[in-house]
A and B are shown apart, each in its own frame.
Chain A
Amino acid sequence: MAMNSTPSASGPAISLKSISRHYGAITAVDNVSLEIAAGGFVALVGLSGSGKSTLLKMINRLVDPSAGEVLIADENVEAFDPHVLRRRIGYVFQNIGLFPHMTIARNIAIGLELAGQKNGDRDGRQERVAELLELVELPQEMANRMPHQLSGGQQQRVGVARALATRPGLMLMDEPFGALDPVTRDSLAGQYKALHEKLGLTTIIVTHDMAEALYLADRILVMEDGQIKADATPAELLSGGVGDEAEALVAIPRAQAAHLIALGQTDGRKST
């Protein structure tokens, strides 16, 4: 796979060709075609049940499309053994899915273990774990804890670290920061964005937080009923005219911001 070909962007280009996924009568993804450039940072937003996770899972074959095909760096994903394909793609699960019987360190390093870094490389693995814990802002002493000894938000950060461990060129992240407090969330999003740019990754992130999408991504896709209803840059989205669905989603953070500003002004007036 030519994922690491372009020098400026180590991440691959992705191409979805008319993919659909049906579950009985339900159409989770409805004939979506999409080109994502190498090194792109795409945010996928949309209401609950609109098909975001399904779309993401079709890229690394956790879900097989009912119709259509997925190309990564111009190669059909069907051409690879699923486990070979998936080892080169970082995936952060919406429900985290840490292995409850493994320490945090082993959870993070499991991808390296699978890639065949044996005991000889244990030092290398330990270093990588330390590096990743720092990146996701977790204390080093957590390495030896078990997942159930961590808070939900801490677990979520371990999930992100685990996905990054093997240095994949393509990152698929399903609400990676959903359980975090706004402060950590903002800091982590910033860190990730820097990493994305430094390494030239291709990233697709699912989020319910429009503000986060606007801040992180260079392209925002709005999904509804399995279809992509809007496809725009943050600037285009904010200036309006890209469709009602997008408008509705942007309206909320905008209204909240206005409310906060107004609140700040009244408070200010009271205290003086």
Chain B
Amino acid sequence: MTEAWKQAFTRVPELLAAHVQLSFSALLLAMALCLPLAIWAARTPKVAAVILGFASLIQTIPALALLALFYPVLLGLSALLGGGISALGFLPALLALTLYALLPILRNAVTGLTGVAPAAKQAADGLGMTAAQKLRLVEAPLAAPTIMAGIRTAAVWTIGAATLSTTVGQASLGDLIFAGLQTQNWTLVLTGCFASAGLAIIVDLLLGLIERAIRERRKIIAWGATAVIGIGLAIALLPALGGRGDVVVIGAKGFSEQFILARLIGSRLEKAGYQVRYHDGLGSAVVFQAVAADDIDIYVDYSGTIWTNQMKRTDPVPADDMVREIAKWSASKYGVTMLGALGFENTYAFAVRPEDAASKQLKTLDDLARVSSDFAFGTDLEFLERPEWAMVKAAYPIEFKEARSFNPTFMYPALSSGEVDVISAFSSDGRIAANGFVVLEDGKGAVPSYEAMLLVAPRRSGDDKFVNAIKPLVGAITVENMREANYKVDRETDKQSPRQAARWLDEQLKDGKDQ
């Protein structure tokens, strides 16, 4: 237990610094945008209605969706400007959080400025203040406590929402939460939650102190609290001055197999003398663009995913041809090198409870179609929107009673407990066999093949040392080994970390290959 905590905490300082950098940049940007807008809005009620309406509208978009939306927007913008804009990582996270911070700051600033006593405003005019003097000497100081309260609200929101930036590939304390959720490592989840909540509470207290000091006109306290915030920021910003250098960034999507393979790749690269960092939890739409843009150096993807999502193909092709065509396509279109398939498949597998399989005689997807109107379907968060689901439905007359989406971690327990009757499992997942679930055959070959394969960013393609360090992994991982490694991380008891599972997997490779 204490070992797990220690491991979780070693990642906190780095992620905390990234979290602080991100949320404060967003807050500063939002303030820079809002204050002039608020001044304009406070003078012109019509403008206020429009601006506040817009900000409220943004607030109704869930933070996660807002983050996801910036990805295509930035991609489009980058294409328009001839490249150079990174659609992943800091920039989209910054923009989304900035938009999210607008409402509280704007609303309070407009309220504060319009709420200045008319008598004071008229006196300012009567004494001969110019508009600028009136703003500086009267309106701004009188509105300051209200404005500060808005900034404080925005700060707390931003720090909370910044945990979601993990999904667009920006490091934050959310990395701990998302990784912990995937691997059911609650220590990791709690560490991430405590750290981000702690940060929010401390910032809230300090800003609250400043707000009160302004209200009561106690300059020393206001400056003292500002200085504490400044020092905290300076400490958080120090590592940013270092820059990325020649660190390899290994990408991973948000599930255990990806974490394990990333660590496996990482250990090989470390042995070859590279410094390695991990970018976990990238969405599958985002991760390919990330490798193409050199935001990450390498990651593992699955042939069917690239085939349907990136290449927009739906025609069934033999597995080997598919891998070959993907290699050609990614190299010519994006300069991304397909280094080779790892040797195992992780396809969508429809799994049912063994009792149902026996009593209802379920063997194939045709059998499933027969009973589907009585069945509740559990899937991961994206399957229902994926083309594979459309392909399955086109091939089999399946019509479920209901469909529910789960975080993959909770999908298997949901099937065991009878909450759902069939799930879209992953064929390399150790929990299928461990639970005794029965996988139904796709007799018509509706689901494309999902060979795991290594994709390398353009900037590493010519790096022989890099390629040679990874090359031995090609064709070296059996589906049995992968399942067992996954199960080590995913099981309920005696859980291992992805790094430990990767070490185990590495040993199996050596046993198989070198001896």
Contacts and interface: CB of A to CB of B under 8 A. Distances in A.
A114 B123 CA distance: 13
B128 A86 contact: yes
Contacts of B133: 83, 114
A93 B119 contact: yes
B123 A98 contact: yes
Interface string A96-113: 111111000000001100
Interface string A109-123: 011001000000000
Interface string B117-143: 101101111111110010001100110
Contact of B126 (A60, A84, A88, A146): A60
A6 interface: no
A131 to B, nearest CB: 19
B313 interface: no
Interface residues of A, number: 23
A146 B142 CA distance: 14
A261 interface: no
Contacts of B129: 83, 114
B123 A100 contact: no
A99 B119 CA distance: 9
Contacts of B142: 100-101
Given A100-B142, A101-B141, A101-B217, A84 B120 contact: no
Contacts of A84: 128
A96 B127 contact: no
Interface residues of B, number: 18
A124 B128 CA distance: 21
Contacts of B127: 86-87, 91, 110-111, 114, 162
A47 interface: no
B488 to A, nearest CB: 64
A264 interface: no
A91 B126 contact: yes
Given A100-B142, A101-B141, A101-B142, A93 B126 contact: yes
A150 interface: no
A244 B131 CA distance: 45
Contacts of A162: 127
A242 B184 CA distance: 96
Nearest to A95: B119
Given A93-B122, A114-B133, A100 B117 contact: yes
A110 B136 CA distance: 13
A97 B128 contact: no
A91 B127 CA distance: 7
A97 B130 contact: no
A34 interface: no
A114 B128 contact: yes
Contacts of A99: 120, 123-124, 137-138
Given A83-B128, A95-B119, A99-B138, 13 more contacts: A60-B126, A62-B126, A83-B133, A86-B126, A88-B128, A97-B122, A99-B123, A100-B117, A100-B120, A100-B142, A114-B133, A146-B217, A162-B127
Interface of A: 60, 62, 82-88, 91, 93, 95-101, 110-111, 114, 146, 162
26 contacts: A62-B122, A82-B125, A83-B128, A83-B129, A83-B130, A83-B133, A86-B128, A93-B126, A95-B119, A96-B119, A96-B123, A97-B119, A97-B123, A97-B126, A99-B120, A99-B123, A99-B124, A100-B120, A101-B141, A101-B217, A110-B137, A111-B127, A114-B127, A114-B128, A114-B133, A146-B217
